[in-house]
Amino acid sequence: MSAPSDADLLAAHRAGDRHAFGELVARYRNRMWGIAVRTLHHPEDAADVVQEALVAAYRRAGTYRGEASVRTWLHRILVNACIDRLRKERRHDTVPFPEVEPRERRPDVAMDVVTRLSLVEALAELPAHQRVAVVLVDVQGWPVDEVAEVLDVPVGTVKSRCARGRVRLGALLGHLREEER
């Protein structure tokens, strides 16, 4: 028997199935965490925002009308929570998130550490809207049109935010250099 779809699980949750929402959350919470922590650059804030988003989704399940996919709907809640948090706190004195990716599999360990730490820090330098777009498109690999749906902006706006963000990141990371003029 095939696994229930996201929409099936949400419908089951609305119908009173006590485990359906948990199954739905299990599908997405790792990715939601990834988006939140890359966007907010602060683990505690990211954990708070994921929690807010999950609870909000739990409460708002009855308002889901199916215009967007459940994945899009869920991540829209998360991203809005992230943007709200960035606007409220404008946190610049963040604690860099410690990288815990398995680097031992990579041959260039030392360079990898340097590159990735600076990449995470560089991401934190982007304006909120650019950062969210870059995280969703370039880090998470989402299609641009779905990101546009999540952010409720035109596709061109997502591309533009990504383009501006990549230029800034490229400069911060040293990939766009003076001598390339």
Angle (nearest 5°) at CA 140 between 87 and 163: 65
- Residue 58's SS3 state is helix
- Using the minimum distance from each CB to another protein, give the nearer residue, 20 or 67: 20
Taking the chain, what is the end-to-end CA distance rounded to the nearest angstrom? 59
Does 114 sit near another protein (CB under 8 A)? no
Does 178 sit near another protein (CB under 8 A)? yes
- Using the minimum distance from each CB to another protein, give the nearer residue, 52 or 149: 52
* Single-letter code of the amino acid located at 165: G
C-beta of 104: minimal distance to another protein in Å? 14
C-beta of 71: minimal distance to another protein in Å? 15
- Using the minimum distance from each CB to another protein, give the nearer residue, 67 or 98: 98
DSSP 69-84: -HHHHHHHHHHHHHHH
List Cα–Cα distances, 100 to 20, 25, 113, in angstroms. 31, 23, 10
Residues 117-136 interacting with another protein (rule: CB under 8 A): 119-120, 134
Structure token pair of residue 133: 């777009």
Q: How far apart, in whole angstroms, are the C-alpha atoms of residue 87 and residue 124?
A: 14
**Residue of the chain from 7, 97, 126, 152 that contacts another protein (CB under 8 A):** 97
Residues that bind another protein (CB under 8 A): 18-19, 21-23, 25-26, 29-31, 33-34, 37-38, 43, 47, 50-52, 54-55, 58-59, 97, 99-101, 115-116, 119-120, 134, 138-139, 141, 144, 156, 159-160, 162-164, 166-173, 175-178, 180-181
